[in-house]
């Protein structure tokens, strides 16, 4: 199945969760090397847009995800704009984190959540799955694993950031792993019932 992403970190995380024997392909494996537009106003919209783009180009079953960090004190920002939060910085994780920490400075409410939405197109039909993990934003980054906002996000019930966790530990609790497991369960159920 095609995972509509060019982000190698996402690919590694999702591939690590997939059952043995399932190898994910990317749009590049099908000659799609251009950036897939992400212009929608919601995570659901972006995930569907990416999946539809790849499905129309290949005719193959595929899925795409979009993830946002939603910070309560910032009214849910950066949300759907998480990867492009620092204006003009593109996908610059460091600039995004610096701007987020600056915007939170002086406030006590650091509650946040990561939310992932996966859009699956299977036999021409669209399906959506969601994964959420609650947590808080640290005052400064810590750790070298993961990507994006991982160095400043501490999941509820833990004393480490996602960036301080090995991938195996992060994949037990993360928003993306929760969402991916819902996708796997859906596909497994269909396969077991001959659908």
What's the CATH number where 93 sits?
3.90.950.10
**Distance (Å, whole) CA 64 – CA 117:** 8
**Distance (Å, whole) CA 107 – CA 187:** 43
66 is catalytic: yes
Is 139 annotated as ligand-binding?
no
Across the strands, what pairs with 126?
121
Q: Give the number of other CB atoms < 10 A from CB of residue 91.
A: 14
pLDDT for residue 150: 95
Is 96 annotated as ligand-binding?
no
Is 66 annotated as ligand-binding?
yes
Whether a cis peptide bond, with omega within 30° of 0, leads into 150 is no
CB 125 within 8 A of CB 96: no
pLDDT for residue 88: 62
pLDDT for residue 129: 98
- Which residue range(s) make up the domain with 57? 2-192
pLDDT for residue 167: 86
pLDDT for residue 142: 94
110 contact partners, CB below 8 Å, separation of at least 6: 71, 73, 104, 136, 137, 138
pLDDT for residue 83: 87
Number of domains in the chain: 1
**Distance (Å, whole) CA 116 – CA 177:** 9
**Distance (Å, whole) CA 160 – CA 163:** 8
- Provide block-wise average pLDDT over 10 residues at a time, the chain (195 residues): 90 90 92 90 97 96 96 96 79 90 92 98 97 97 90 96 93 94 93 81
Is 84 annotated as ligand-binding?
no
Among candidate residues 35, 61, 65, 66, the one labeled active-site is 66
Is 153 annotated as ligand-binding?
no
Q: What are the tens digits of pLDDT across the range 65-110?
A: 999 999 999 999 999 999 889 876 567 889 999 999 999 998 899 9
pLDDT for residue 149: 95
């Amino acid at each position: 199945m095609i995972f509509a992403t060019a982000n190698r970190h996402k690919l590694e995380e999702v591939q690590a969760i997939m059952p043995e024997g399932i190898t994910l392909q990317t749009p590049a494996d099908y000659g799609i090397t251009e950036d897939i537009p992400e212009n929608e106003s919601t995570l659901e919209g972006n995930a569907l847009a990416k999946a539809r783009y790849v499905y129309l180009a290949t005719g193959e079953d595929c899925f795409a995800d979009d993830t946002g960090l939603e910070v309560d004190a910032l009214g849910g920002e950066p949300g759907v704009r998480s990867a492009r939060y620092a204006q003009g910085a593109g996908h610059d994780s460091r600039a995004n984190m610096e701007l987020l920490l600056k915007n939170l400075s002086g406030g006590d409410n650091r509650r946040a959540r990561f939310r992932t939405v996966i859009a699956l197109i299977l036999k021409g039909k669209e399906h959506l799955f969601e994964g959420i993990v609650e947590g808080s934003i640290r005052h400064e980054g810590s750790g070298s694993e993961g990507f994006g906002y991982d160095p400043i996000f501490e999941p509820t019930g833990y004393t480490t950031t996602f960036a301080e966790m090995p991938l195996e530990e992060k994949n037990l609790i993360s928003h993306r792993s929760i969402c991916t497991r819902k996708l796997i369960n859906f596909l497994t159920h269909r396969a077991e019932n001959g659908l």
